[in-house]
Amino acid sequence: MSALDWIRIRRTMLAYDYWMDVEGVSGRGRKQLRAELVCNLTDATAAVGFPAARRSLGSVRALAAAAAPDRDSRPRWVVGTYAAIVVFAIAAFATLGMTTAWADGVLAAGGSTIDVTGHPVFLPWAQITVHKGEHLQILAAINPLSILLPMLLAFVLGSRIWRLATGQPSPAHAARAR
């Protein structure tokens, strides 16, 4: 088996692990299922190659759903964390891109000395100061709540945290209590 096949198997295992978390498979059962997937994919890759082995596996999302037949009502903390990280990355890169584009537009508008303060149209929470004299200075002051609040919203929606407030025990917890 080549190093590329090993990487592909691990990538498939990570996708499977993510979808098991989304479906609510417990941590104890997840380790065994991951090991089984890696073993089966390794054997199939040795026999027919990775592309054929991966095609015969089918959807890892459907496989994870089959591994968790009794969906419980617990929040999905990892899914909420992933969602918050993605929102942070999008917000940070969008803010950086719009800030530098606005500052570049101010510089292109001209002159040998510039002293402008303002904000881009789509970033009312950012105040940018461009000062061009002997040296160029660009200062951007960004309200941290403009990035933290969307992250918090993404975390709440992704983790389904309201499930804690419903007070319904998970089916697995109810079975253990009997």
Which is more confident, 62 or 178?
62
Closest alpha carbon to 63 in 87, 38, 28: 38
Helix (H, G, I), strand (E, B) or coil at 178: coil
Which is more confident, 28 or 102?
102
The confidence band for 69, taking pLDDT boundaries of 50, 70 and 90, is: low
CA distance 31 to 9: 15
Q: Is 7 exposed, middle or buried (0-12, 13-18, 19+ CB in 10 A)?
A: exposed
How confident is the model over 88-97, as pLDDT tens digits?
A: 999 889 888 9
Q: What is the pLDDT of residue 115?
A: 84
Residue 70 in this model has a pLDDT that exceeds 80 = no
The confidence band for 84, taking pLDDT boundaries of 50, 70 and 90, is: very high
How confident is the model over 111-169, as pLDDT tens digits?
A: 677 788 888 888 888 888 888 888 888 888 888 888 899 999 999 988 877 777 775 55
Q: What is the pLDDT of residue 73?
A: 66
Q: What is the pLDDT of residue 145?
A: 87
Sign of the C-alpha dihedral computed for residues 15, 16, 18 and 23 taken in this order = positive
CA distance 11 to 6: 9
Q: DSSP letter at 134?
A: S
83: region left, alpha or beta (phi > 0 left; psi from -120 to 50 alpha): alpha
CA distance 125 to 42: 51
Q: What is the pLDDT of residue 168?
A: 55
Residue 178 in this model has a pLDDT that exceeds 80 = no
CA distance 101 to 95: 10
Which residue reads 């025990």 in tokens? Answer: 169
Q: Which pTM value belongs to this model?
A: 0.61
The confidence band for 23, taking pLDDT boundaries of 50, 70 and 90, is: confident
Q: What is the pLDDT of residue 176?
A: 47
Helix (H, G, I), strand (E, B) or coil at 76: coil
Q: What is the mean pLDDT of the chain?
A: 83
Helix (H) or strand (E) holding 139: strand 136-142
Q: Are 37 and 13 in contact (CB under 8 A)?
A: yes
70: region left, alpha or beta (phi > 0 left; psi from -120 to 50 alpha): beta
Q: What is the pLDDT of residue 150?
A: 92
Q: Are 112 and 126 in contact (CB under 8 A)?
A: no
The confidence band for 177, taking pLDDT boundaries of 50, 70 and 90, is: very low
